[in-house]
Amino acid sequence: MNAPLLTTLGILFPESLVRSHAFGVLAAFVAINTMVYVTLSVAKALPKIWLRDYLPRGYERAETRSIHPDGEV
């Protein structure tokens, strides 16, 4: 198939449209949007990190009150 036939069928955009400013802005928007969705998808696929698990808790006792004094606090 040749390029004029593909252009008339709507399969390829004409070169003047592809090189226009509006098409460049739209292409930039699609690129940024794709990067945002890829980042969100990767973040969703990774295991969740709970920051609270790594911080000291205020409700922990300083010493054990168990009947087994050598046990965990």
Amino acid at 56: P
Q: What is the pLDDT along the chain (73 residues), one digit of tens a residue?
A: 566 666 667 778 888 999 999 999 999 999 999 999 999 999 999 998 888 888 887 777 777 788 877 766 5
pTM above 0.75, yes or no: no
